[in-house]
Amino acid sequence: MDGESERKIILSGIQPTSTFTLGNYIGAMKNWKKLQDENDCYYFLADLHTLTIRLEPKELRAKTAENFALLIACGLAPEKSLIFIQSQVPTHAEAGWILQCYTQFGELSRMTQFKDKSKQHPENINAGLFAYPSLMAADILLYQADYVPTGEDQKQHIEIARDIAQRFNGLYGEVFKIPAPYISKQGARIMSLADPARKMSKSDLHPRGPVLLLDKPEIIMRKFKSAKTDSGTEVVYGEGKDGINNLMTIYSCVTNRSFEEIEREFSGQGYGAFKKAVGEAVIEELRPIREEHERLMKDKIYLESCFRQGAEKAFAISRRTLTKMKKKLGLLM
Ligand code: TYM
């Protein structure tokens, strides 16, 4: 951010397809938490976005509840940030449709996520998957967000949201603020432990690829101990050492130590000792989250009151922009 002291509007979302990963946590949620003290923050579960792939309804319902509690357990405080569930705020789908009409076929065809997901699910390349960035643009633009804190993989989607906003403003006047990405230099792309050439992902089917925020300590340790690395022994950051680079990044983000400090700390100790230390650091980082999550899951009444209130406030805020859009377009109000 530009260092100005005034409060900014921060918005970001996450799909509740499955339990959040360490990648989601380091790449996005840690920043969300950090930003909530000094800014007006809106964070939500992007459940409408999950409909672009097929999930069991029962599974989606359970994961949405589990992950709503997980947002709070990770430190997002309902008294500080507005936390809500996308499908409970009808302005998103409505603005999403309108913005689809201001998004070009050519730009959507260039989206890497669309290309990747089409390859992953060749049997279900639906229109929602293609138009996904228009709904995401609506999510962002409805709240007049200044910054969108995400991992590296969402940069292209934020750029298209900016293009859509500029196009719309060009035609109808200043309706939307132009949002900027907020992506950390370090940790914006955490890689799979099983295959460090690939991004750590919630949907990874490899049992030891992603570390999940609710994994038990012994599972976390097992995943780190079996993390894929090269045939070397020195804990040094460098080219061709994707596995070690990834572990160093994780360790650095969790302990706030620089690469130089880490290299010094593990000099002459070999990969085994380092993997164990990373596992331990991650276990300690996630322990309070898992415990708080367990406690929250028993308090269904509190959770429900949080998401109901969140949806109500989000609706009131987003409706202002939607009304402006509709008026500008000539929709009879
Ligand atoms: P999603 O659910 O895939 O991921 C949520 C957030 O986690 C980040 N992330 C990662 N960061 C570092 N390393 C990784 N391996 C890693 N994997 C995921 C993502 O960059 C993201 O910030 N389209 C979005 C959800 C969304 C959204 C929005 C985000 C819908 N509407 C509006 C921002 C604003 C998504 O699928 O994120």
d(CA 165, CA 96) in angstroms, rounded, equals: 12
Pocket of ligand 1 contains residue 146 by CB under 6 Å? no
Which residues of the chain register pLDDT less than 70? 1-5
Q: Which residues pair with 42 in a beta bridge?
A: 11, 82
Pocket of ligand 1 contains residue 183 by CB under 6 Å? no
Look at residues 14, 18, 40, 9 and name the one whose alpha carbon lies nearest to residue 27: 14
Question: The whole model's pTM is what?
Answer: 0.97
Considering only CA atoms, which residue is closest to atom 1 of ligand 1?
Answer: 14
Mapping DSSP to helix (H, G, I), strand (E, B) and coil, where does residue 224 land? helix
- Give the amino acid at 241: K
Pocket of ligand 1 contains residue 189 by CB under 6 Å? yes
**Residue-wise pLDDT tens digits, 258-303:** 999 999 999 999 999 999 999 999 999 999 999 999 999 999 999 9
The sign of the CA dihedral 319, 320, 321, 325 is: positive
Q: Cα 299 from chain centroid? A: 25
Considering only CA atoms, which residue is closest to atom 5 of ligand 1?
Answer: 14
Mapping DSSP to helix (H, G, I), strand (E, B) and coil, where does residue 201 land? coil
Pocket of ligand 1 contains residue 40 by CB under 6 Å? no
What domains, with CATH codes, occur in the chain?
9-183+300-329 (3.40.50.620), 217-295 (1.10.240.10)
Cβ burial of 301 (10 Å; 0-12, 13-18, 19+) is exposed
CA of 133 to the centre of ligand 1 (A): 12
Cβ contacts of residue 310 below 8 Å, gap of 6+? 44, 78, 82, 83, 84, 85
Sequence-separated contacts (24+) of 202-209 with Cβ below 8 Å: 202/15, 202/17, 202/18, 202/19, 202/20, 202/21, 202/24, 203/17, 203/18, 203/120
d(CA 104, CA 39) in angstroms, rounded, equals: 33
d(CA 152, CA 154) in angstroms, rounded, equals: 6
